Amino acid sequence: MLDEGLGVGVHVFRIIMSIAPNSSSAAFPRMVIVSPTFNNERDLPEMLSGIGPLRLPIIVVNDGSTDDTGRTIDAWRAERASDRYAITHPTNRGKAAALLSGFAEARRLGFTHTLTIDSDGQHAAQDLQNLVGVTIRHPRAIIVGARPGKIPECPLGSFLGRRLSNHLVWLASGVRVTDSQSGMRSYPLELIEGLGVRAGGYAFETEVLARAGWAGLSVIETPIGGLYRVPGGRITHFRIARDTWEAVRMHARLIGRSLLPGNPVPRVPAATNCDAAERPSDVNRSIGTILHRALWWLGLRRLAEMATGGRQGRVCLAASVGVGLFMATIPVYGIKTIACLWLAAKFRLHPTVAIAVSSLSTPPLGFAFAFASLFVGHALLRGSLPKFDSLPAWSTFTLADARTLRTEWIAGSIVVGIVLGLLGYGLTRMLLHARRHTAVQSG
């Protein structure tokens, strides 16, 4: 009943689209399903039958099949040819070429968005319903149907490959996804045309996410199911050696380019790539090449946004000062910069602020931090205040004395660091709040 209701809703939406062809794609996404297929005569009919309730146009791309796939498609189109389209490649050209052929045909027919689904039985056709709803809400984003992390009977190699691919996509572009290899997606055709995806075969669907990040496009995931237990056994055309090598080359190329200056693809303006409810400043900040993200993460622009933006940004900026003061106090010389970078990444701090404040550990303030730490550490561990005449003479200074002072220094530095960090955090919060209050009153 739910499937039928949504099917009717999508059908009504499609009618609205047909009578408003001149409306912008952001307000009225005109969707068509694209399904590439190759020698899947067994699973194809069930997939096509499952798509039926959505009442959306469908383009099936027969990528050089040598079985009865072509006749299956012809029989399916004969039932209702008005919104069922077919493209045939004389020879097998791979999934990337099949998708691109489907996208080109969709554009020719006047559609703005394509919903893609594999025909090998890995996806349940009814899950496209989720993508339809998210596409209507976010027409300027690529929507990825994310399968569960663990799927019954999923091969270990596929599981590990997907996890590794997710991390490499994030490294190259900042796009965070849990299923970079999903074949069920929604693409805004106008926005992905200029991405310049080069990978062939299955790697196309991974590279398009990284390049979307470089362009500043939003990538949104929505949960779908995942099927590996297919009656009669799952049909796959993945070739381990060939396709794995293609994926390795693709990731190496993307990461290498991501380290170089300049944008590999034109950036989409933030004001264009957002929904009405989103602020442009919240969009496409943390995605892009490695160099682009590093400069933004470390830069003054982000610092200004944190200082003048919302409460969360001011909290993180104040915490950056507090963490910097703590790191300036504790005796972890040689790794303070690395520690500040790690903490900044972990807790969304501003790394430049944390590193700059931690550099107060250099003389002359460094001596004051060390003295205060030794003073507090001696009092904590010995229960009495230290006396200068109690320090051992240099001529009688032993390794045991050095260990004692080291223990007192470390213990005291943690306490002093926490106190200074909290004071720095509180004072910075007060200053930022007062400045914002003044700005609001003057504005």
pLDDT at 383: 83
Q: In the predicted model, is pLDDT for residue 246 greater than 90?
A: no
Q: Closest Cα partner for 87 from 40, 35, 30?
A: 35
Q: How confident is the model at residue 325 (pLDDT cuts 50, 70, 90)?
A: very high
pLDDT at 388: 63
| Full set of structural domains in the chain with CATH | 2-258 (3.90.550.10), 299-442 (no CATH)
* Mean pLDDT for the stretch of residues 99-122: 92
pLDDT at 274: 52
| Lowest-confidence region among 11-25, 135-149, 264-278, 398-412 | 11-25
The secondary structure of residue 393, as a DSSP letter, is: P
Contact status, residue 293 vs residue 287, Cβ threshold 8 Å: yes
In tens, the pLDDT along 327-356 reads 999 999 889 999 999 999 999 999 999 999
Q: How confident is the model at residue 284 (pLDDT cuts 50, 70, 90)?
A: low
289: tokens are 């090449």
| Lowest-confidence region among 32-41, 112-121, 144-153, 290-299 | 144-153
| Distance set, CA 268 to CA 90, 195, 263, 419 (Å) | 36, 11, 11, 45
What angle in degrees, to the nearest 10, is found between the helix axes of 365-382 and 399-442? 120
Q: For every residue of 89-144, which 3-state class applies, written as one string? A: ECCCCCHHHHHHHHHHHHHHCCCCEEEECCCCCCCCHHHHHHHHHHHHHCCCEEEE
In tens, the pLDDT along 361-388 reads 988 899 999 999 999 998 998 888 777 6
Q: How confident is the model at residue 431 (pLDDT cuts 50, 70, 90)?
A: very high
Q: How confident is the model at residue 157 (pLDDT cuts 50, 70, 90)?
A: low
| Lowest-confidence region among 42-46, 128-132, 296-300 | 42-46
Which is more confident, 383 or 313?
A: 313
- DSSP for 228-241? ---TT-------HH
pLDDT at 440: 65
Question: Cis peptide before 57, with omega less than 30 degrees from 0?
Answer: no
Sheet holding 218-223, edge to edge: 84-89, 58-63, 31-37, 113-116, 185-188, 141-146, 218-223
430: tokens are 């007060």
pLDDT at 389: 63
**Mean pLDDT of all residues belonging to the chain:** 84
Residue count (the chain): 443
| Lowest-confidence region among 43-47, 50-54, 275-279, 299-303 | 275-279
Question: In the beta sheet, which residues pair with residue 34?
Answer: 59, 116
Contact status, residue 196 vs residue 265, Cβ threshold 8 Å: yes
pLDDT at 3: 47
pTM exceeds 0.85, yes or no: no
* Mean pLDDT for the stretch of residues 279-306: 81
Count of C-beta atoms within a 10 Å radius of residue 385: 9
Q: Closest Cα partner for 323 from 360, 355, 297?
A: 355
Which is more confident, 154 or 411?
A: 411
pLDDT at 12: 43
Percentage of the chain lying above the pLDDT 90 cut: 51
Angle at 222 between CA 127 and CA 268, to 5 degrees: 125
pLDDT at 270: 60
Q: In the predicted model, is pLDDT for residue 282 greater than 70?
A: no
pLDDT at 385: 79
* Mean pLDDT for the stretch of residues 288-312: 91
CA distance 252 to 397: 56
